[in-house]
Structure 1
């Protein structure tokens, strides 16, 4: 299979904003034309489009016209179909996170406050303590849809709010492709990484959830992209763009700040590499400009809530230790030092009110969220097993690539640092707040960038270091990712 793919350097993806404009147009047209259709119709359409993509790819393969760029385009297109289709057949209040009611203090209430009254919440009760960017964009999309379709109920308008997370989930594929290109990923590494990201179910689920998770992940990815772009071309324009996107990540969700230490590390490396005092002064001046833009834009809402409500920085909504979600009475070993693998098959889905083992919960939750499904169950067990195998291989790949001194430092620092920051904060979070809901994979979605990237880089390194083993291991890795893609898609369109 590997020999049939044309060997040439990946061409530069469409430059500028046009891919994002195309995604916006595609989402808008799909929503206007297909929203409200029966789920069976939408899933049948998804299957037809994916089947056509498969036939086209097979045609290129048979006729030796399957270039790397064409295969990558097919992978991205399939990922877009799955995200948009899932968004269309999933109501906003089904399999969402902390949706609540229109007049409550959760996500729907936050959006409704901006939509109905044109202002920020007047309290920090419930989830109103969160920064407003995602909810503001949700409300603006609802306003636009209300103008195009007057007379719609607020429930129907909330369906349009799904376009914001759907855009973030779709556009993330463009950002990740550009990120890997800026890191000079080889073609095989890019294909494997992008296939994992395109078909990972977490991005399907978040594409229809009107909370702030998916948009924050998108801004974090853009921040990583512009960190690399600035490092390679240290212009004022690039550092200003970086300052704005990091601020957007933080004002979407406070945990977006975790990209900042990585950017700071790159800043210090760039400063260290300057040969002259004049060049160092230029870099320091750029850092000052970065802070001047990023800090006010990123922290204004936190300062507002501190002034109005006395809300401390890093505030987390307190939860009762007497509630059904509390799991602190389980032992540390049972929560963090074991992995009851047999429980993968006693119940395919998570139960935040009963589960307590962090690692088992992550394996299930990353495939199905904290929800249960009634269709596609024949694919649930294979999907969990493939996910577990990919997780184990990605962890091995991470250690192997991080220790490889011949591999470029920048991708090792960014991808490795991202994984360490995310997992470290996640473990601390679960130790400090021992509740079923805090084990959710949505809090560490950016680790997928690291896992997918290191898996791809490990395949490339294996070909260089161990050609004999690579003759069977590389095709096996390709088929493993292919099987994951097929089973993941099958579950979500069945």
Structure 2
């Protein structure tokens, strides 16, 4: 079923790591570091100039029939990493961050808040926090991401990187995670049996989407959480296609490690449980006792691997601090509180005026936007940016890209759901195994459902940020690949054209907006 060899995946991964290390060198020494966008006028045109040159090379190679699938994927990943590199080099660790916190350095005993403070604590004291995890925000998060960041800080200090620049380089692991998401998405599509052309088409959204570019420069655990959720989906699909003990162990490890990065990876456990049940029913119907025994044993192995790993931090907090998992919340008098709006205002189909097409940015304040889907659309494209000033031309591009992103999101989500349902029905009619498409559909529905429940339980504008469901991009990508296949009907060609145009306008518009908008003055 898979069409790509291991050597290509190895080269893609090496490319991402090499670019990440190159950025670490550029950002980790005083001669070339660009802290606070001091050389914006030189660096950004250089990055985008190189991007345009690469596009030109791709065009001429394609025109001369010298660009195969491997070359196209390598170029796509490189272009994605180039955009991420520009963003990371341009903006410091305080730009467009969520609950970022601060650091005071190794020589002090001060404990700081925020994601930077959490990583600094482990780096400085060389241990996990030994206080109530809800005493400081966001110490309630599982520690894997922060341990990696602390080790990275320590390594940099050992080789002589100045401490301030070492903290700037906290973006390097997230840069690599964001890049690896492209490769894992290709793995998922490859495991689904998508043809080589579809693999290239599918890699484009993950490579160029603005949310993943911003993730590359983040310092929180969102990028690694997204990566592990995608890895879990991929490894479960591998197990579905080849039900070996090794594959189910790798799937279990992916889920478990994902949960000690961020607990929301657990959402895949629900869809995994359903397909395990469906598979078990199928095995029982076959009446093969050996197959039934192996199935039970594999499920036991999955539980024994995933549960202890995934729940280790939760159990630690219960045993040591008598604290159950949860999220600290603000009070109803917060400007971000949306609980005063009706359920329809928060979850219903938004009106044109509620979409804020005239200024499509997230205003944080609930009086600006309280509709969950509006905030999701806004933060999907522009994160939590809210420009203090913006040129009319740049604003017009942002408006067009925002409208295109809404159209693309709706079209691709519908294409994904219909595509899954039709494939499930075809498999059932032909008495073929359908759990692969069922798993994807259920995972998408559980992710969207959990997002709505999360916003309902924590009624604040920040709860609707797209960063909580960025994994939706994987399913939109699948929908995009399916809809871009050759169509013979007029309706199919129209939908294909709408999808292609909306995705293209969304991605190109976002790149132009990021080129001309200075996020450091938000």
Q: TM-score, normalised by structure 1?
A: 0.91
Give unmatched runs, 5+ long, in structure 2.
Answer: 104-110, 428-432, 517-522
User: Where do 1:127-276 residues align within 5 Å?
Assistant: 127-150=138-161, 152-153=162-163, 155-274=164-283, 275=286, 276=288
Structure 1 residue 13: deviation in Å?
Answer: 5.7
User: Aligned equivalents of 1:184 and 1:423: distance in 2?
Assistant: 25
Q: Deviations over 1:116-155 (max 9, x none)?
A: 00011122122111100011111111111112224x13x3
8 Å Cα contact 1:339-1:359 kept in structure 2:
yes
Task: Please state how far the C-alpha of 1:10 moved relative to its aligned partner.
Answer: 5.5
Runs of 5+ unmatched residues, structure 1: 1-8
Alignment RMSD:
2.3
Q: Relative to 1, partners in 2 of residues 1:426 and 1:472: Cα closer, same or farther, differing over 3 Å?
A: closer
Aligned counterparts of 1:19 and 1:71: Cα–Cα separation in 2: 11
Q: Which residue number in structure 2 is paired with residue 5 of structure 1?
A: none
In structure 1, C-alpha distance between the alignment counterparts of 2:345 and 2:67, rounded to whole Å: 49
Matches within 5 A, 1:277-296: 277-296=289-308
Q: Deviations over 1:399-421 (max 9, x none)?
A: 42133133783453233212211
Give the Cα–Cα distance (whole angstroms) in 1 for the partners of residues 259 and 370 of structure 2. Answer: 30
Secondary structure of 2:336's aligned partner: coil
Please give the alpha-carbon distance, in whole angstroms, between the structure 1 residues aligned to 2:320 and 2:160. 37
C-alpha displacement at 1:473, in angstroms?
Answer: 4.7
Q: Is the 8 A contact 1:115 1:139 kept in 2?
A: yes
Distance 2:243 2:440 in 1: 21
Aligned to 1:300: 312
Instruction: Tell me: CA distance 1:479–1:99, structure 2 relative to 1, closer, same or farther (3 Å).
Output: same
Separation (CA, whole Å) in 1 of partners of 2:453 and 2:279: 31
Normalised to the residue count of structure 2, the TM-score between the two structures is: 0.86
Q: Does 1:77 align with 2:97?
A: no
**Does residue 326 of structure 2 align to residue 326 of structure 1?**
no
1:345 counterpart SS class? coil
Relative to 1, partners in 2 of residues 1:391 and 1:475: Cα closer, same or farther, differing over 3 Å?
closer
Paired residues of 1:344 and 1:384 also in contact (CA < 8 A): no
Using the TM superposition, name which of 483-492 and 472-481 deviates more. Answer: 472-481
User: What is the DSSP-based 3-state SS (H/G/I as helix, E as strand, rest coil) of the residue aligned with 1:346?
Assistant: coil
* Alignment correspondent of 2:5: 12
User: Deviation at 1:369?
Assistant: 0.8
For the 8 Å contact 2:279–2:435, the answer to whether it is kept is no
Cα deviation digits, residues 325-384 of structure 1 (max 9, x gap): 212112222222241323433322101123211111111110111122456544211210
Query: For the Cα contact (< 8 Å) 2:483–2:499, is it kept in 1?
Result: no
Q: How many residue pairs were aligned?
A: 480
Which residue pairs with 1:33 in the alignment?
26
**Structure 1: how far apart are the matches of 2:234 and 2:40?**
36
Distance 2:436 2:361 in 1: 34
SS across alignment from 1:40: helix
